[in-house]
Amino acid sequence: MTTLFAQPYDIAAQGFYFESYDEYVKKSTALKNDYGQQVEEFEIQFIDGDEIDCSLASAWSLHQGQLSAFFDASDEWDEHQKQIFIIAVGECGYSFDPASDHPDNFEVDIYELDSMSDLAEQFVDDGLYGEIPQSLQYYIDYEVIPPF
């Protein structure tokens, strides 16, 4: 379960915790500041939840305008899709529109290996550095080959 906090930009109002979009809507529409005025703008803060959902919220640049889509993605996407999103959007700067984009559309490959030299060795085996004769492959120093 993901817990978020809506911190009002209005300093005369108190924020609130919420765990779903419906709860956010209910609490935000009922919130009034000390002068009885409706509070409209909030900073959304990630408070508690799975580590991957925290990273997802950070990569998402979470704000109140796309809370519904964030909660949908958090519930529906599997861990691999979340990892792809975090890498593509959060690390590589891909643009993202929650209404039309999906992590499966990003061209991101994830390799689960023990070291960068293992990755370099796999890239050589896959032919990403061109065709290297078998007799020369024994002389390749995989520790210094850049695997990208």
Q: Which of 30-34, 86-90, 118-122 has the lowest mean pLDDT?
A: 118-122
Domain of residue 79, residue span: 3-91
- Residue 143 falls within a domain, yes or no? no
Residue 21 lies in a domain: yes
The answer to whether residue 59 sits within a structural domain is yes
By C-alpha distance, which of 69, 70, 67, 147 is closest to 113? 147
Determine, yes or no, domain membership for 104: no
Over residues 33-48, mean pLDDT: 95
Residue 147 has pLDDT above 70, yes or no: no
Q: Is residue 121 part of a domain?
A: no
- Whether 137 has a pLDDT exceeding 90, the answer reads no
What's the whole-number mean pLDDT along residues 102-125?
84
Total structural domains in the chain?
1
For residue 78, give every residue at least 6 positions away whose Cβ sits within 8 Å of its Cβ, in sequence order, or none. Answer: none
| Domain annotation covers residue 127 | no
Answer yes or no: is 113 within a domain: no
Residue 84 lies in a domain: yes
pLDDT of residue 144: 83
